[in-house]
Amino acid sequence: MLKRILIDLDKCIGCRSCELACATEHTAPQERALLSPKERRLLARMRVRNGSIEIINTPDGKPVFGQQRTKIPAGKAYPIHCRHCEEPKCVEACMSGALARRDDGAVGHDRVGCVRCWMCIMACPYGAILIDPFGKSILKCDLCQGRKIPACVESCKKGALVLQSDEGPVAIDRAECVTEGSD
């Protein structure tokens, strides 16, 4: 029963709650204590990307290197996650074997086996694989192992993230939701 996260663009307001929920889910409490919310957000395994091609936030209109612009105009927010593709290009490209399809159908990543060769990043057509800001590994969605509903889906108050299984959308049972987890 393969699950996927679909995006309802009409509902997404670009609040980025999902990023923070993802980052929180995937960091241990002791690690979180050392990070500011801004730093912690960089550990999220998905990103809300900006669909606007206008250059914003740079006074002279020139690109700013090494600095992602953060403000997202209305209607231009695109949450981008791993799709857990049927024929994943990232797994084909992974030379250490750290990326592999798990028994539940999700594409999993072993952070210890990862050698930081960036081959998966080169292969993923969605740009859904991110670099760990501390340089240790890559960051990619694991569909929140051990959770029924992934943290990002659960955190979206607008219902813009929809968990889809082979049988259709998976309903969120708020009573079952947990607020915190750890990697």
Partner 1 sequence: MESYKYVIIGNSAAGIGTCDGIRRVDREGTIAVISDEDMPAYCRCLTSYFIGGKVTEDGLLFRPRDYYQKNNIKPILGAKVVRIIPAEDLVELEDGRKIAYSQLMLGLGASPVLYDVPGKEKQGVYVLRTYEDAKKISHAAKPGMKAAVLGGGLVGLKSADALHHRGVEVWVIVTSPQIMSQTMDKDGADILRRQLEENGLHVMTEKEVVEIVGKDRAEGVKLKNGEVLPAEIVIFAKGVRPNIKLAKNAGIDCDYGISVDAHMRTSVKNIYSAGDVAEAKDFISGGKYIHAIWPNAIEQGIVAGKNMAGENVEYEGGIAMNSVDLFGLPSIAVGHTRVKKDSGFEVISLISPEHRYYRKIVLKDNVIVGSVCIGCIESAGVFSGLIRKRADVTKIREAMLRDDFDYAKVVAEGVVQDKEHFIKRD
Contact present, 125 and 90 (Cβ < 8 Å): no
Using the rule CB under 8 A, is 132 a contact of partner 1? no
> What distance in Å separates the CA atoms of residue 94 and residue 139, rounded to the nearest whole number?
14
Whether the Cβ atoms of residue 155 and residue 18 lie closer than 8 Å to each other: yes
- Encode burial over 62-88: b for 16+ CB neighbours within 10 A, e otherwise: eeeeeeeeeebeeebbebebbbbbeeb
Position 105 contacts partner 1 (CB under 8 A): no
Report if residue 89 touches partner 1, rule: CB under 8 A. yes
Is 124 a binder of partner 1 (CB under 8 A)? yes
Nearest alpha carbon to residue 5 among 146, 142, 110: 142
68 in contact with partner 1 (CB under 8 A): yes
Check binding of 118 to partner 1 (CB under 8 A). yes
Q: Which lies closer to partner 1 via its Cβ, residue 65 or residue 167?
A: 65
Query: Quick check: 173 binds partner 1 (CB under 8 A)?
Result: no
Q: Which residue stretch of 30-38, 89-97, 147-155, 173-181 sits at the interface with partner 1 (rule: CB under 8 A)?
A: 89-97
How far apart CA 35 and CA 129 sit, in angstroms, is 22
User: Can residue 137 be called a binding residue for partner 1 (CB under 8 A)?
Assistant: no
In whole angstroms, the minimum distance from the beta carbon of 8 to partner 1 comes to 5
* Residue 128 lies near partner 1 (rule: CB under 8 A): yes
Shortest Å distance, C-beta 33 to partner 1: 27
Residues 5-44 that bind partner 1 (CB under 8 A): 6-10
Radius of gyration of the chain (CA): 16
Q: How far is CA 148 from CA 35, 41, 69, 174, in A?
A: 27, 22, 33, 11
Instruction: Tell me which residues touch partner 1 (CB under 8 A).
Output: 6-10, 47, 49-53, 55, 63-69, 76-78, 80, 83, 89, 92-97, 113, 115-131, 135, 162
